[in-house]
């Protein structure tokens, strides 16, 4: 009897055995439809076997083998097995979560042809010079197609709106599409020269000495090597990536580029398309439709996509010719999934590079202390970019404004307002960074001291003045702003603190003629909102930007010369030992937006603690000194990277049940007598969320291997504990406390 073991999307840590009828072939990695209970499910064939522990009469047959997509490679399946084992997550849910949504469905997948575009007969006869000049993008498309046929990806390098304009040209009859078969790149054989015919590398900038050393070091790497590219903001890390990619593409390889934020993906996509106009670049992120994501994933799997740019889930893309992985802003916590399979895309990418035997580059101006420690100890190779790429660009001057010794206007100091006025007079841009959206963090009654707490959470409801709502940013609960205090009836309710909306309103009062743009999650809800805003900023149609961390990362605004940081002190009081590391990285990133071109930049940080070591290090641009100090503190306290951690979290409606479960789990851990440190059960940082009580238990070990051995024995005991009305999860290498 032929048996196939199938991974199914169910919360059980096992594969399921099914029989295969004679004459039916099932390849490992192929999708199959199988009966499970009373329903039918799509699974992935993981193993073949001839024997099974189940009684023959109980084994059900495979209903259907899905032939509409290529099987998953053995390499990807091994990667997913590793993730399931390391992150202690069911193998079936791990495998299925890595696939595009369409591949988890039993609906047939209809292949979408790869279309190319060319001028029609009437289009070829068209005099482009006489074409209306106001139709800029259409003129560019026609000029490009007059040179050679192109696919949509190549035309999108001309403009983000190329798709829409292309449809208009097709409707006019000047452009026509046809199905094209993409040529698959192949690895070069020994002694064979790279054939780069039709492959163009645009705008190769002259590299600085440090950039050249970084490019050469990666190009000369033989097999797996992990490089930490530590470059200050504006040092040209992206240019280094481009040259490293160029080297790989010349040799027929594929590149995987991971970025932390979906907001960064379109601008990076356009940038790399402009640099590699003949290369098939695809993106993978949650902003794509299901069909787009499937099509792009299949191009990567077929090898026709030469550059794959994506957010964390792209680390599981099939790449048969993978030759280089780049993780940009490697320190960013967005690379860590916070639910389901709680994996770190950066760490999985390092494992994947090792598995494949290819180099990986981790880039950051403020590396995570884990990566920095690995580079210091020799596990990674350090590559440094210590100067800005443009010779005339200088690092911004950083000054602290003591809020206890200056006049304040609703959270903005007179010094900062004066500097903003000077920038407006010089037609330069200013950015005010405050990592809190809404009008004010809380509404308070001046009579009895009532605060706008959320009835479902331990947090406060934020005042959103534009639509007169109080909203909880944790659970989403919202109510209309009360006309009087719910406790004492006093009508004198005051907003306390500042959010982006309040800062925007203060600036509008002070600078009525200024063009002010607020960038936060509320103002960028619409699909194209952020793209339109970015175009306005680049066209210098904005005088003052007010925004959250969305504005801090990776953006290049040439006219921006002043950054004001409001209320950074709250992170200094945090119980999270990584809070100072996150704040330093955030402030370096946002400060790096200033003075990136030939105009000098300045950063003003409003703080009650101007002599704090963190702000001193920022003023001196001294990451190395600050990191050394932090690592020394971590070593003394016994925190990562000197120990390895796992967090057991539980939440439920009843406090007694949550704490009983965690205390039983702790007792089971102590009973194992393994070489790990078991801490006490404590409330979570937000002890109540969406009417659920939340608590946690931390386990740590000096050795990663020792922690993993403990978890393999402990988890089956956790599965056996009564937890009918609870949700619990294991988080390996946790970032949130």
In tens, the pLDDT along 257-273 reads 999 987 777 778 888 88
Residues of the chain with pLDDT under 70: 1, 111-114, 157, 160, 180-204, 389, 391-393, 527, 553-555, 595-598
Within a domain: 466: yes
Determine the Cα–Cα distance for residues 725 and 536; give it in Å rounded to an integer: 51
CA distance 389 to 385: 9
Torsion angle of the four alpha carbons 35, 37, 39, 40, in this order, in degrees rounded to the nearest 10: -20
296, 380: one domain: yes
CATH number at residue 601: 3.40.50.300
| Per-residue pLDDT reduced to its tens digit, 525-555 | 776 777 788 888 888 899 999 988 777 766 6
**Distance (Å, whole) CA 88 – CA 342:** 9
DSSP helix/strand/coil, 250: helix
How far apart (Å, rounded) are the C-alpha atoms in residues 304 and 306? 6
Task: Report the alpha-carbon distance of residue 161 to residue 192 in Å, rounded.
Answer: 40
Same domain, 217 and 359: yes
Residue among 395, 436, 333, 401 nearest 615 (CA): 401
Same domain? 430 vs 450: no
pLDDT of residue 585: 92
φ/ψ of 273, rounded to 5, equals -65, -40
- Residue pair 141/155 in contact (Cβ under 8 Å)? The answer is yes
380 φ/ψ angles, rounded to the nearest 5 degrees: -110, 160
Nearest one of 436, 435, 439, 432 to 412, comparing CA atoms:
432
Torsion of Cα atoms, 651 then 656 then 657 then 661, to 10°? 90
Q: How many domains are contained in the chain?
A: 6
Question: Do strands 412-413 and 408-409 pair parallel, antiparallel, or not at all (unpaired)?
Answer: antiparallel
Q: What token pair was written down for 364? A: 């950051």
- Regarding whether 666 and 551 lie in a shared domain, the answer is no
Residues 88 and 32 in one domain: yes
For residue 557, give both structure tokens: 């605004």
- Flag whether 390 is in a domain: no
Token match 């010094």: residue? 415
Whether residue 221 sits in one domain with residue 163: no
pLDDT at 65: 92
How far is 345 from 98, CA to CA, in rounded Å? Answer: 12
Q: What's phi and psi for 732, nearest 5 deg?
A: -90, 135
* Paired tokens of 601: 């930049």
31 and 119, same domain (yes or no): no
Give tens-digit pLDDT for 560-594.
899 999 988 877 887 788 999 999 999 998 888 77
Q: Are 138 and 279 contained in the same domain?
A: no
Residue 181 DSSP class: -
By residue count, the chain amounts to 737
Residue 189 lies in a domain: no
Shared domain check, 673 and 581: no
Domain finish residue from 606, 633, 660: 633
User: 338 lies in a domain?
Assistant: yes
Rounded to whole angstroms, the Cα distance separating 204 from 567 reads: 41
Residue 182's pLDDT is 44
On whether both 54 and 86 belong to a single domain, the answer is yes
**In terms of domains, do 170 and 72 share one?**
no
DSSP secondary structure letters along 348-381: HHHHHHHHHT-EEEEEESS--HHHHHHHHTTSSE
Considering the chain, what percentage of its residues have pLDDT values greater than 70? 94
pTM for this one? 0.87
33 closest CA partner among 98, 101, 104, 91: 104
pLDDT of residue 5: 95
Judge whether 204 lies within some domain.
no
HSE-CB for 666 with a 13 A CA cutoff: 19
DSSP single-letter state for residue 548: S
- As a whole number of angstroms, the longest Cα–Cα distance in the chain is 85
- Separation of alpha carbons 436 and 418, rounded Å: 23
530/536 Cα distance (integer angstroms): 10
Which residue range(s) make up the domain with 136?
A: 114-180
Q: Which of 49, 76, 104 represents a domain boundary (last residue)?
A: 104
- Chain segment 152-200, per-residue pLDDT in tens: 777 776 776 788 888 888 888 888 887 764 443 333 333 333 333 334 5
Statement to judge: residues 285 and 353 lie in one domain: yes
For residues 47 and 195, give the distance between their C-alpha atoms in angstroms, rounded to a whole number: 39
Task: For residue 693, give the CATH number of its domain.
Answer: 3.30.70.600
Q: What is the CA angle 647-652-654, rounded to 5?
A: 125
- Map tokens 């619409």 to a residue: 526
Q: Rounded CA gap, 459 and 492, in Å?
A: 22
In a domain, 173, yes or no: yes
pLDDT of residue 191: 36
Q: What are phi and psi of 155, to 5 degrees?
A: -75, -30
Q: Is 191 inside a domain boundary? A: no
Last residue of a domain, one of 633, 664, 688: 633
Cis peptide before 447 (omega within 30 of 0): no
Q: How far is CA 614 from the centre of its chain?
A: 26
Peptide bond into 641 cis (omega under 30): yes
Q: How far apart are the first and last CA of the chain?
A: 50
Tokens for 133?
């000049």
Task: Determine contact, residues 672/710, Cβ cutoff 8 Å.
Answer: yes
Residue 196 lies in a domain: no
**Alpha helix ranges (H) inside 17-87:** 74-86
């Amino acid at each position: 009897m032929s048996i196939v073991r199938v991974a199914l999307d169910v919360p059980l840590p096992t594969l399921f055995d099914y029989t295969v009828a004679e004459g039916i072939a099932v390849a490992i990695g192929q999708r199959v439809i199988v009966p499970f209970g009373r329903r039918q499910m799509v699974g992935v064939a993981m193993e073949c076997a001839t024997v099974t522990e189940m009684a023959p009469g109980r084994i059900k047959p495979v209903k259907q083998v899905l032939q509409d997509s290529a099987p998953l490679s053995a390499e990807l399946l091994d990667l997913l097995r590793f993730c399931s084992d390391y992150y202690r997550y069911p193998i079936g849910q791990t495998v299925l979560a890595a696939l595009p949504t369409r591949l988890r469905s039993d609906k047939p997948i209809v292949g979408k042809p790869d279309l190319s575009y060319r001028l029609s007969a009437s289009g070829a006869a068209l005099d482009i010079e006489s074409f209306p000049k106001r139709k800029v993008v259409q003129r560019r498309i026609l000029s490009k197609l007059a040179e050679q046929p192109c696919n949509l990806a190549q035309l999108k390098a001309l403009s983000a709106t190329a798709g829409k304009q292309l449809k208009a040209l097709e409707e006019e009859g000047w452009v026509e599409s046809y199905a094209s078969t993409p040529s698959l790149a192949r690895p070069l054989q020994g002694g064979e020269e790279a054939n780069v015919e039709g492959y163009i590398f645009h705008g190769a900038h002259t590299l600085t000495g440090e950039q050249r050393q970084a490019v050469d070091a990666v190009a000369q790497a033989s097999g797996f090597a992990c490089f930490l590219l530590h470059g200050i903001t504006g040092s040209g890390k992206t240019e280094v990536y481009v040259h490293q990619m160029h080297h790989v593409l010349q040799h027929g390889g594929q590149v995987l580029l991971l970025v932390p934020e979906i907001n960064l993906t379109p601008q990076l996509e356009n940038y790399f398309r402009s640099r590699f106009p003949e290369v098939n670049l695809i993106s993978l992120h949650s902003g794509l439709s299901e069909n787009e994501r499937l099509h792009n994933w299949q191009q990567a799997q077929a090898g026709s996509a030469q550059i794959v740019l994506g957010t964390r889930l792209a680390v599981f893309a099939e790449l048969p010719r993978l030759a280089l992985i780049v993780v940009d802003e490697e320190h960013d916590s967005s690379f860590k999934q916070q639910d389901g399979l709680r994996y770190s895309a950066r760490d999985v990418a390092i494992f994947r590079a090792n598995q494949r035997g290819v180099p990986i580059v981790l880039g950051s101006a403020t590396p995570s202390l884990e990566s920095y420690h690995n580079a210091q100890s020799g596990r990674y190779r350090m590559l440094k970019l210590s100067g800005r790429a443009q010779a005339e660009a200088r690092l911004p001057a950083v000054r602290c404004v003591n809020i206890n010794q200056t006049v304040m206007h609703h959270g903005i100091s007179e010094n900062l307002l004066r500097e903003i006025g000077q920038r407006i007079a010089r037609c330069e841009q200013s950015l005010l960074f405050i990592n809190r959206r809404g009008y004010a963090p809380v509404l308070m009654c001046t009579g009895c001291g009532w605060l706008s707490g959320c009835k479902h959470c331990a947090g406060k409801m934020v005042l959103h003045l534009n639509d007169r709502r109080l909203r909880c940013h944790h659970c989403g609960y919202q109510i209309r702003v009360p006309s009087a205090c719910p406790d004492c009836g006093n009508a004198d309710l005051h907003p306390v603190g500042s959010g982006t909306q309040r800062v925007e309103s203060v600036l509008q009062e002070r600078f009525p003629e200024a063009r002010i743009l607020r960038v936060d999650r509320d103002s960028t809800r619409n699909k194209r909102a952020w793209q339109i805003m970015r175009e306005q900023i680049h066209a210098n149609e904005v005088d003052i930007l007010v925004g959250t961390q969305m504005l801090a990362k990776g953006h290049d605004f040439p006219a921006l010369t002043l950054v004001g940081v409001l209320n950074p002190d709250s992170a200094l009081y945090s119980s999270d030992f990584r809070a100072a590391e996150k704040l330093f990285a955030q402030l370096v990133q946002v400060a790096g937006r200033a003075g990136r071109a030939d105009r000098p930049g300045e950063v003003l940080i409003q703080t009650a603690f101007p002599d704090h070591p963190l702000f001193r290090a920022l003023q001196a641009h001294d990451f190395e000194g600050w990191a050394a100090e932090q690592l020394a503190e971590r070593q003394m306290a016994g925190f990562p990277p000197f120990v390895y951690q796992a967090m057991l979290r539980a939440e439920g409606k009843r406090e007694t049940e949550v704490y009983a479960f965690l205390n039983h789990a702790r007792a089971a851990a102590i009973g194992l007598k393994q070489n790990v440190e078991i801490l006490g059960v404590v409330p979570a940082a937000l002890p109540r969320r969406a009417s659920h009580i939340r608590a946690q238990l931390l386990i740590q070990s000096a050795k990663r291997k020792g922690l993993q051995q403990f978890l393999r024995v402990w988890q089956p005991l956790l599965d056996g504990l009564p937890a009918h009305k609870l949700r619990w999860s294991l988080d390996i290498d946790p970032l949130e406390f």
